[in-house]
Amino acid sequence: MKSFSILTSIFLVLISPILIHTADIDFSYTGKTGPIYWADLKGSNEICRTGKQQSPIDITHEKFNTFSKPDSVTFDDAKNVEIVNDGHTVQVSNKEQILPATMKIGNEDYELAQFHFHTPSEHLINEEYFDVEAHFVFQTKAGNLSVIGVFYDVSDEQNDFLKPIVDNLPLKKNDSHLIDFIKLSKVLQDIDYMNQTYTYPGSLTTPPCGEGVVWWVNTIVQPISLSQYRQLRHVMGFNSRFTQDIYF
C-alpha cells in the first residue's frame, strides 16, 4: 500500500478515542433504513456519510502492493460458545472469555470480542467480490478495534471451521444456539498465519460506522461448500455495505 504503514496503524490506534460500539440502531440493508440512510438514523451516525476512513473498500493493485500483519496473532479452539442471530448477521461473542484469540499491534494488546459473517463479501479485491466474508473483531481494554477479514468462496470442500456454525445456525432474529466446540485455531492456519494480508485504517461496516479500526484483509480465499454457503446466505440475506471512498 502506498501511504499506509504499520507505523501509521500504530499511531492511529494510539490516538483514537474509545470507539462507540455497534448500538441497537434499527438499520437494514434495504429500503429507508438501508446503507445510504445510515447517517440519518437515530444516534450519532453522521460519520457513516461524512467519514474519511469508512469501510468496506475495494482493495486494488494500484493502492495496495505490500502485505502486512500484526506483531502477533493467536487463535485457540473455543468451547461452549453461543451463536446469536441479531437480525443483521449471525455472531459469536466473547461472553465469559470463551474465545481464546489475541492480537498484538505495537504495544497494544487485543482480544477477540466477536466474529460474524456477511454475504456477499463487503471488501472487494480489484472489483471482485467473494461469496462470504467473516469478520474477526478484536478489541483492546480501552476499546480500540482491529478486524481480520476472511473471504470464503463456494468449492467442493466443506469448511471445518464453519461446520459447527452452519450446523447450529439461529434461523430467526434473536434466536441463539449453543455450540460445543469451534475449531477456531484452524482459521489462522487456513489463512497462512496472515502472510498474505493487506492492512488499512477503516471503520465498522455497520452503524454507528465508528472509525479508527485497523483492518487486516486476508487474501487467501477459503473454501465453503455450496450447502454451507446457501444456509448462511438464506439466514442472513444480503448484508453487505457498499464500498466506500478511499482518501489515503
Q: Footprint of a copy of itself on this chain (CB under 8 A)?
A: 29-32, 34-36, 58, 119-120, 124, 126-129, 153-155, 226, 229-230, 233-234, 237-238, 242-243, 245-246
Q: Which CB sits closer to a copy of itself, 191 or 235?
A: 235
Please, what is the minimum distance in Å from the beta carbon of residue 243 to a copy of itself? 5
> Residue with C-alpha cell 495496495?
64
Pairwise CA distance, residues 113 & 81, whole Å: 12
In three-state secondary structure terms, 149 is strand
Phi, psi of 20 (to 5 degrees): -70, 135
Please, what is the minimum distance in Å from the beta carbon of residue 58 to a copy of itself? 4
Please, what is the minimum distance in Å from the beta carbon of residue 154 to a copy of itself? 6
Please, what is the minimum distance in Å from the beta carbon of residue 229 to a copy of itself? 8
Among 88, 119, 85, 98, residue whose Cα is nearest residue 184: 98
Q: Which CB sits closer to a copy of itself, 70 or 149?
A: 149
Q: Which CB sits closer to a copy of itself, 18 or 36?
A: 36
Q: Which CB sits closer to a copy of itself, 38 or 75?
A: 38
Largest Cα–Cα distance of the chain, in whole Å?
A: 45
- DSSP summary character for residue 39: G
Please, what is the minimum distance in Å from the beta carbon of residue 139 to a copy of itself? 29
176, 70 contact by CB (below 8 A): no
Please, what is the minimum distance in Å from the beta carbon of residue 30 to a copy of itself? 4
Q: Which CB sits closer to a copy of itself, 96 or 156?
A: 156
Phi, psi of 222 (to 5 degrees): -90, 150
What are the cell numbers at 77? 479452539
Q: Which CB sits closer to a copy of itself, 77 or 153?
A: 153
142, 16 contact by CB (below 8 A): no
Q: Label the pairing between strands 222-225 and 145-155.
A: parallel
Please, what is the minimum distance in Å from the beta carbon of residue 70 to a copy of itself? 27
CB atoms inside a 10 Å sphere around CB 172? 8
Pairwise CA distance, residues 245 & 56, whole Å: 9
Q: Which CB sits closer to a copy of itself, 11 or 242?
A: 242
